[in-house]
Amino acid sequence: MSSDLWSFSLDLYAKPGVEQACLTLQNAGGNVCLLLCGLWLEQRGVAFTEQRLQQLQQLLGPWDTEVVQPLRTLRTQWKARALQDPALDSLREQVKRLELEAERQLLERLETATQDWPEAQPTDTAQWLQGLAASGDQGNRDALHQLRVAASGT
């Protein structure tokens, strides 16, 4: 398992099926950074509590709303037109890199917020993912299962 959240996320995202699972959950309104953080905390054996979940959601909210989402919206709005316009495609790729950098910084913020949370032995209870699923992702059980299986090998 990667020790930092960013490396863990990159390792996990590279596994078969994970990208599609993340996109499915994101399209359903889930926050992929929060899900990745939850999986990382689960692997570290950090106990899930509603208070911790709320702390992460409060930290995530403004950055996601004011930075990540506007970049993602712009990138997706340009997708079709960029296929026909090389200059726009180049700009879209730059926005895509900015979006990824914004997500990296968000993951660093989430990691910093959790660095003092005590770790125990990793468990199979999947409490973090269950807690995150209860906040809107429950209808996407297959995608959540794919993430859980992929993370178990990270």
Domain boundaries, the chain: 5-152
Report residues of the chain scoring pLDDT below 70.
Answer: 1-2, 121-126, 133-139, 154
pLDDT of residue 8: 95
CB atoms within 10 A of CB 146: 20
Q: How far apart are CA 60 and CA 82, in angstroms?
A: 30
Q: Strand, helix or coil at 116? A: coil
Q: Which of these, 5, 2, 36, lies nearest to 147 by C-alpha position?
A: 36
Please state the pTM of the whole predicted model. 0.86
pLDDT at 126: 67
**CA-to-CA separations, 35 to 77, 80, 127, 128, in angstroms, rounded:** 25, 28, 12, 8
- Measure the CA–CA gap between 6 and 89, rounded to whole angstroms: 27
In whole angstroms, how large is the CA radius of gyration of the chain?
16
